[in-house]
Structure 1
């Protein structure tokens, strides 16, 4: 099977686009996981603050 120069260039270009797309997808997934962890930490802080506000002085001194 013989490929012309333009077909080889098109294949190389398509491969480069696929690799760049995979790298971008990995970066987006990594950013999503970091943001999700930040939101979980923020949620825990809010929950602890809410519990601290609703706690009575006797519960705090325990």
Structure 2
């Protein structure tokens, strides 16, 4: 799994950041070595690292 490690995202290159994240997600999807449970875990980790889910939920509710 170390060979699938995601490179650090650069704060000054948003397009590169998104491309890197998409490339990483696709490598997980296409991996024949990873089990389904490993793939789910990796996706969960990627989402938790790169998305503010609590903030997104708060923003989507607005004043409600």
What is the TM-score with the length of structure 2 in the denominator? 0.32
Higher RCO (CA 8 Å, separation ≥ 6 residues): 2
Bigger Rg over Cα:
1
- Structure with the largest fraction of helix: 1
